[in-house]
Chain A
Amino acid sequence: MTARIFAYIVHKAGVVDDTAAELFAAARKIDPAANPAAVVVGAGAELDAVCKAVAATFPEVWKVASDALAYPNAELVRQALVKVLPQGSIVLVPHNHFGIDLAPGLSIKLNAAYVSDVIGIDGVDATSLKVVRQEFGGQVSTHARCNIAQGAVVNVRPGAFKPLETATLAGTIVDKTGEVGSLTSKRRYLTTIVPEAGDVDITKEAVLVSIGRGIGEKDNIPIAEDLAEALGAAVSCSRPVVDAKWLPKSRQVGSSGQTVKPKVYMACGISGSFQHLAGLKGSPFIVAINKNPKAPIFQVADVGIVTDMLEFMPELAEKVREAKKVTV
């Protein structure tokens, strides 16, 4: 393989995102001899600090400074990357809210292939990159081949590649600012609004009874609330429950919701998508209750119960109350 590998570095408030080291590991997985270059865009002293930090992992760092890039508006970042990246490159991008915004359009503008949400890499030859992806909410995986003859933009799932234990480098920082010129976009960033705090702070709870689409309807929410009350727990949920307006956004666990770190997490009627699991930290004891024995949640749970949650939860609540009476 002759194509050069680049990694797009996400950073915020001067801090390099965890995905930077993961993309380095993914690059080495593609080619163990690769010397991938990091591409860092931004502005001011913050950008310089980030480039320096990234140069500890990457042998080469391409820096693009522009006041227009002080906020990472993907529309502007795309224009800048099209100007600096060589034809035929392999460009690794984290598959998060930014990568989803940037990468598909970038692949068109680079006339390169695109492969989304890669969780594994099985090797490469002159014309194709072998990748592993998931489909249908993680219920099945696929081996796929991406044509890299014209280069490729590869979105990599955050957390899928473990950072390598490599020596700290002092990589070269190459200033590519001069190649970028002026940037304008028909999409202009205005502001970011932080959600209002909810009535219950699920990030501080030791035990969470978490419900997903399997709860079925709004009228069933009290079943979960009753179990939570019996356990002295709080109710959290997956995204569809919030989408349906059955619970407020502040109760949502996941990449676009809260990051929680309970001791015990009871996932009831939750399939176990990676966006949901991304919000679960601190290795809790996970109990999965799901009627589908093949639900992906059973791969990450400690204990699984294959049953109808609507029948099981009231039963459990009653038993918990009995158990508590006995110990008192």
Chain B
Amino acid sequence: MEILVCARRVPDTSENEIALNDAGNDIERDDLVYSINEPDNYAVEEALQIVARTGGNVTVATVGTDEDDEILRREMAMGANKAALLTDDAFAGSDGKGIATILKGLVQKNKFDLVLTGVQAEDGGAQVGGMLAAMLDYPFASLVNSIEVADGSKLKVSREIEGGNREFSEIDLPCVLSVQTGINEPRYVGMRGIRQVASIEIPAYGAADLGIDRKTVGESAANLKRDDYFVPALGKGAEILTGSNEEVADQLIELLKAKGGLQ
């Protein structure tokens, strides 16, 4: 099977305290730790496990700039055999629809049986996969937490719905699936693996290569525009206990007694 995995480089929210910049029009991006968007990494692992059974190739693609090259290399170190950096000045400031339009260009220039995205990007709207599928007229399923290759023409997939229930469907190939975290256990990538792919040439494609009308992507085509970033008013907020761990533990125990947390 030929599989495309769409991946994005994002600030890692579990590693960073996100703060606003002085102008309030963006977050403070110096010193941020970036990594591959978490579900996208699960999607790559899933693709690798599928081709290990069926044969084929895993291609990882990102819409971004030269800096985003690092996640493509990381996923190649994991085992993806091909990568593509979709980059062009015209792509800057694209919204979800713009990114889906660019990815559609790549899909139409190639032959993929299966396209995987993550469920949602840290700074995204859980939208790129569903939009891409609709543009291609491929069937789509979101929040996928298992994939079974039924035969060469279809898959059996489950979606994660409420309460941990799993909704099973059959879906024809080619299709687009958005992959949920926890679907598998992504393999570990060590520094050695990364070094091995450090000098591989990663092809870059621009609007002309992908047959994309520059007016349909980028900031000017975006339907959603941010006016500012802000930190919401704290509301009541928590009463913060202060002191050494020992002192705080004593205060907390008194509160727990009062609230029935300690009988």
Contact = CB atoms under 8 A, between A and B. Distances in A.
Contact of B241 (A194, A244, A305): A305
B84 to A, nearest CB: 22
B163 interface: yes
Contacts of B161: 97-98, 192, 256
Contacts of B27: 136, 140
A87 interface: no
A281 to B, nearest CB: 13
A contact face: mostly helix, strand, loop, or mixed: mixed
Nearest to A284: B259
A145 B172 CA distance: 37
B165 interface: yes
A299 B232 contact: yes
Nearest to A314: B245
A298 B239 CA distance: 9
Given A114-B127, A144-B224, A323-B262, A292 B17 contact: yes
B143 A101 contact: yes
A116 B253 contact: no
B235 A299 contact: yes
B160 A245 contact: no
B172 A243 contact: no
Interface string B103-132: 000000000000000010011111111110
A252 to B, nearest CB: 7
Nearest to B126: A100
A315 B247 CA distance: 10
A179 to B, nearest CB: 20
Contacts of B33: none
Interface in A2-25: none
B133 A258 contact: no
A271 B160 contact: no
B165 A258 contact: no
A152 B128 CA distance: 16
B53 interface: no
Interface stretch (B75-83, B134-142, B192-200, B203-211): B134-142
Contact of B259 (A258, A285, A301): A285
A135 B253 CA distance: 35
Contacts of B139: 75, 185-187
Contacts, number: 270
Interface residues on A, range: 35 or more
A232 B12 CA distance: 35
A104 B131 contact: yes
Nearest to A98: B161
A320 to B, nearest CB: 6
A220 interface: no
Interface string B134-162: 11001111110000000000001011111
Interface string A114-146: 111100000000000010010111011111111
A306 B229 CA distance: 25
Contact of A147 (B128, B168, B223, B249): B223
B32 to A, nearest CB: 10
Nearest to A96: B162
A239 to B, nearest CB: 7
Interface string B216-249: 0000000111111111101101111100011011
A206 B259 CA distance: 11
A213 interface: yes
Given A315-B249, A323-B262, A116 B125 contact: yes
A239 B143 CA distance: 14
Contacts of A139: 13, 17-18
B124 to A, nearest CB: 8
Identify the 4 closest CB pairs spanning chains A and B, nearest first.
A116-B125, A104-B130, A304-B238, A264-B261
